[in-house]
Amino acid sequence: MSEKQKTIKKEIRFEGTGIHSGKPVRVVLKPAPAGSGISFCRSDLSNAKPIRAVAENVFEGPGRQTALGTADWKIHTIEHLMATFHGLQIDNCLVEVNGEELPGLDGSAKDYVEAVLKAGFEEQEAEREYMNITRPMYYRHQDTYIALLPADELSVSYTLSYDHPDLADQFFSTSINSEVFASHIASARTFCLKQEAEQLQKMGYGKGANLSNTLVFDKNKPLENSLRFTNEACRHKIMDLLGDLYLAGQFFKGHIVACRSGHAQNLQMVKQLADFRTPRYKDVGITLKEGEAWKINGIKRILPHRFPFLFVDEVVEMEEGKRIVGKRKISPQEFFFQGHFPGHPVMPGVIIIEALAQCGGFLMLSKPENQGKIAYFMTIDNVKFRQPVLPGDELRFEVDVIRARTKTGECAGKAFVGDKLVCEADVRFAVVDSN
């Protein structure tokens, strides 16, 4: 049964203090059109345009929080609001913030959830698309790990184990839906150990934190506070996890198994999830306007290739079913220069052909009916190498479709360095299922 996308029914306003910055801030949540996703904007800056809450816009700053941003502005500590959107299954919303950090409120997502439920939801015409998790994914660093296993629903099993006398080990496992999130996850507050609180404040963090909005554990009990759940710290970790994973840009179904993971580990899983994101067709661009381009993260959503065998850095022009133009900057550190004429490095011609074919494959696989499939070589004809490609060159690939059928495609490709033609070939490939 198909599900419809949804947004909030009306504007919602919040005021509070940033838990790290200690600065007052106002936030406005606004309904957003179908397909627009979750976006954030700095309302206090005249030149700040909204950006999507997705992996490529994550700002890797100080730990214990998650931030989005551009080269010009940042918004910190977004995880509790992102968890609210994820837990209540809100597809589209615009978040306007007049400062650098979201308010800490009571240290949980409780106030966000209550306000959103009071405002209500607006069902939209567009259908919701889930990422298709087809294989297990893992990330492990020292004694922390996070795994995502294919499943028919979303669930989380989390183990909190600090191996510290101030906080006993905790475990919580649950399916995730709107009711479970609102009742059993959203009100779990942020926490730290007593010695951590002292260290964080010495480092300049936690300026807006206090014993009401932060559980500070000493000898396995919160100082001057009482628990909402016996395993509240573990549940808060699940809330952070749900907020961070929604930065993959789309809902998914799977069983999340994690131990000791924090924001850094969560965001490593987000990078893996981003590769599974189902691109909404209108986002592909079809015909890219002047100045627009698909960067590497967008390319990885379409092509199955990965390092060191992904040879297209950017798609700068694309016309549906007809033509594509891609680019690749050839770094002196490319792996193939180590053994291909050492002392006189030249890019192997077969890799130039592969890059041309990847551009053609991107054009074919960006069609809705081909999403998640793979393009295999069938034949290569009329190959000519005109000029050598050297370290530091920038290749431009121009690929035109000769013919396209349901399961096969044929393209004519040319590679240029500047205005010089360096290689050309006709490539034919088959489009097949990936499983």
Beta bridge mates, 430: 376, 408
Residue 340 known to be catalytic? yes
The response to whether 86 counts as a known ligand-binding position is: no
d(CA 148, CA 46): 40
Please report, as a single letter, which amino acid is at residue 422: V
Sequence-distant (≥ 6) Cβ neighbours of residue 298 within 8 angstroms: 279, 315
Residue with structure tokens 């030149």? 47
CA 86, 87, 91, 93 torsion-angle sign: negative
The per-residue b/e assignment along 75-85, b for 16 or more CB within 10 angstroms, e otherwise, is bbbbbbbbbbb
- Single out the catalytic residue among 20, 141, 263, 344: 263
* Burial class of residue 197 (count of CB atoms within 10 Å of its CB; 0-12, 13-18, 19+): buried
The response to whether 184 counts as a known ligand-binding position is: no
In the structure encoding, which two tokens stand for residue 243, read together?
């907020």
The response to whether 80 counts as a known ligand-binding position is: yes
Residue 86 known to be catalytic? no
Please report, as a single letter, which amino acid is at residue 58: V
* Burial class of residue 46 (count of CB atoms within 10 Å of its CB; 0-12, 13-18, 19+): exposed
Q: Residues forming the annotated binding site?
A: 80, 236, 240
Residues forming the active site? 263, 340
Q: Residues forming the annotated binding site for Zn(2+)?
A: 80, 236, 240
